[in-house]
Amino acid sequence: MIKYRNPYYWVFLILFLPVVGSIIYLVTQVYNKRDAEKITSEITHIINPTKKIKDLEKQLAFSESYQNRVNLADAYLENSDYENAIRHYKDALDGNFQNDFYVIKNMIEAFYKLGDYKGVLEYAESIKTHSEFKKSRTQFLYGLALEKEGKPDDAEDNLKCIDVRFSFYNERLIYAKFLLSRNKNTEAKDILEAIASEAQHMTRPNRRLYRTTILEAEKVLQTL
């Protein structure tokens, strides 16, 4: 209380009601203040994403830890600076965290956005046996990269794992289009009909979020 120079009446509350007074002080003056600062910081980073990167660069310069480097790489990824994101993810992996699934899956995302499909395949191969790889967006990107590299059968084996009801709507639409490209119209139609049906049970926020996907699925259905 003295450190933050709060009004003097807190002295009486803390001294005469030590337990209750201290709890009230901590909740109202410490934790709420921290929450407010955190929210303000997050808003600033949304408005000015480069500030977040600069702040994280300073943190990394001050303490070159694994987590600080990953945090900076994440910020670059969020800002669509995929080359710098990959560079810092690779530097992080050079330490003692060669099998860090989180870092590798983010690298795969960055490689795919850059159109570096060989990079996707190389790193996906290293985590294929990980439990979190199955039925994940990472496996989906792996499947798309396999298609780009001329391996449609292997691609389908991985893409079909993303066909999970009430989830992965954008990915399932892409998978349905992939099946259509292989003249598997019946399988594609089943997926598109499922998306259209599930849309009827979505919450209003989700319908807004996936509106474009739903409309596209219904549009493709009309052509079948």
pLDDT of residue 6: 57
Residues of the chain with pLDDT under 50: 36-37, 39-40
Q: Are 221 and 189 in contact (CB under 8 A)?
A: yes
Could you give the 3-state DSSP secondary structure of residue 1?
coil
pLDDT of residue 106: 97
Chain segment 162-179, per-residue pLDDT in tens: 999 999 999 999 999 999
What pTM was estimated for this model as a whole? 0.76
Cα gap 2→174, rounded to integer Å: 60
Cα gap 170→20, rounded to integer Å: 51
Q: Phi and psi (nearest 5°) for 97? A: -125, 45
